[in-house]
A and B are shown apart, each in its own frame.
Chain A
Amino acid sequence: MLTMPKNKGLSIFIKPQILLFFIFFALFTPAFLLANEPDHTKNNDIKATEATHAKTSEAFNPGKMILEHVKDAHDWHILDYNGHAVSVPLPVILYDNGLHVFMSSKFEHGHATVESKGNFYKLHDGHVYKTDAAGEIAVDAKGKATNATPIDLSITKNVLALLVGAVIILLIFFSVAKAYRKRGNAAPKGLQSLVEPLIVFLRDEVIKPSAGKHYAKFLPLLLSIFFFIFINNLLGLIPIFPFGANLTGNIAVTMILAIIVFFVVNFSGNKSYWKHIFMPDVPKAMWILLIPIEILGVVLKPFVLMLRLFANITAGHIIILGFFSLIFIFGQKNMFVGYGTSIISVAFTLFMSMLELLVAFLQAYVFTLLTSLYIGSATEEHHHAEDHH
């Protein structure tokens, strides 16, 4: 009882200090930002340099900048310095009557034509096209290149992020597995105690109640999917080089995850699952209507999984980049307005990043939960067939 008012007094004492700190921080943020956030402040310059290259004096284009970030790329752009893009070159791997391997720096951001084993390639709008020696790109009425495209298996930005994410996941779980082997039945420790509650939560609260009797068979897959999405979502929020790519917000990645779910659900489907689709418990006249709907449902479920993850993560990246773009939009009108906006932008970005942390977990959770529900309904026993429409 005696300590209570003491603590209260202490927290009251601390609060104004925190407030003061924030005010101080807000006042001196513009200079601070310029020094520490080259990644985003320089985005302005990227566009500027690209604009000068294109011989058009176009202003900062937030839509283009944001889209270029959330899309895949052949090199990993970090910042622009003195009008020169600083980016990490990535290997380009093309299959075009034989393998062609070279670094993406040879493209010089789309300005140079690369010769490889007698073929010529050029980067145009983020895609590699086959050209003649002069590097001519034919464009149709819609502005789309009509040149032939080689099979492009390059280690792009997202592929690198995928590899980095996979390595991190393997490091985490191999070390955790080692800890389990070594410590036996002892209480978890370190990384183990961080991961164990998640695994136990997923197993006991998500997968066990929804995936049905045979849940143990699907546990490795579902846990792998969850941690793949969760960890890559988190890595996508870190704005420094090998992280920050929009990997889980890329449709190819979510598509593969959804296809895996589609195959697993349908291959594990039992007799009552298929009967529910092709011979539903309704009058036969209704089958004409119901069977197409059920078949559509089979495809739609993983399709929606794919879209939900893609849209949520991409939207998160777009919103954060949008807030930063505000700084440069206003900064173009007046430098000081830009500085002022940066305070608000940083505050909002901070808030959005917190929200994105939640979304990172939530989307992984939802994907896992829905997948286990689909598996559960596909493996459910016959007498429950009517309860899960």
Chain B
Amino acid sequence: MDLVLPGLGLTFWMVLVFGLLLFLLKKFAWKPILSALNERENSIEEALKSAEQAREQMSKLKSDNEALFKQARNERDEILKEARDMKDSIISEAKRSAEEEGKRMIQKATEEISKQKAVAIAELKGQVASLSVSIAEKLINNQLSNSAEQQTIIANQVNNLNNNQQAIA
């Protein structure tokens, strides 16, 4: 029966000792231990959070960089393309203008030639006319006494003239 009956002395000491133990542990053990545990957990959580943030920032930076890179490449491509276009257009323009110039020069030359020809012909005609006049003068001076002869000379002269004209034409 003693086994299941609480003894007075032990009950008294148990209340005293356990009460004291509870007080001392609560004040000097659980308070610092639990607060230190909480603090450490918080600091770990914060560290994890900030690491996560840093990673996010990093990935954002990376994607930013990539976008920038892409943009730069696009710009470069565009500039290259523009340059190529410009080169092409310059070349074609030069070609065209050269062609035009050539054509114009040829035309001018042709005109000049035909002009010079006309001038030459006119001069020739004048010279021929003056030559024929002088010849005619001499002939007339020599042969105007004889009327029959006069007749043949004139006829020859006229014939010659016609032949010359045909040859020139």
Chain A interface (Cβ within 8 Å of chain B)?
A: 67, 70-72, 93, 125-126, 151-156, 158-159, 162-163, 166, 169-170, 173-174, 176-177, 180-181, 184-185, 196, 199-200, 203, 219-221, 223-224, 228, 250-253, 255-257, 260, 310, 314
Contact = CB atoms under 8 A, between A and B. Distances in A.
Contacts of A176: 29, 33
Contacts of A219: 30, 34
A126 B7 CA distance: 11
Interface in B8-63: 8-15, 17-18, 20-22, 24-26, 28-34, 36-37, 39-40, 43
A152 B36 contact: no
Nearest to A249: B3
Contact of A256 (B4, B15, B24): B15
B6 A255 contact: yes
A250 B24 CA distance: 24
A79 B153 CA distance: 189
Nearest to B10: A252
B168 interface: no
Interface of B: 2-15, 17-18, 20-22, 24-26, 28-34, 36-37, 39-40, 43
A223 B26 CA distance: 9
A199 to B, nearest CB: 7
A199 B10 contact: no
Given A71-B3, A176-B33, A253-B14, A170 B25 contact: yes
Contacts, number: 117
A184 B36 CA distance: 7
A177 B32 contact: yes
Given A70-B3, A253-B14, A256-B14, A180 B9 contact: no
8 contacts: A72-B10, A152-B8, A166-B21, A174-B29, A203-B37, A224-B21, A253-B10, A257-B18
B33 A177 contact: yes
Among B18, B29, B36, the one with the most A-chain Cβ atoms within 10 Å of its Cβ is B29
A303 B9 CA distance: 21
Contact of B26 (A155, A158, A224, A253): A224
Contacts of B33: 173, 176-177, 180, 199
Nearest to A256: B14
A153 B12 contact: yes
Contacts of B10: 72, 156, 158-159, 162, 250, 252-253
A177 B28 contact: yes
A230 to B, nearest CB: 13
Contacts of A184: 36
Nearest to A222: B30
Contact of B5 (A152, A156, A251): A251
Nearest to B4: A251
B135 to A, nearest CB: 132
Contacts of A158: 10
A252 B30 contact: no
A252 B6 contact: yes
A70 B157 CA distance: 178
Contacts of B25: 169-170, 173, 220, 223-224
Contacts of B7: 72, 152, 156, 250, 252
A200 B28 CA distance: 18
Among A67, A159, A228, A252, the one with the most B-chain Cβ atoms within 10 Å of its Cβ is A252
A166 B21 CA distance: 7
A220 B40 CA distance: 19
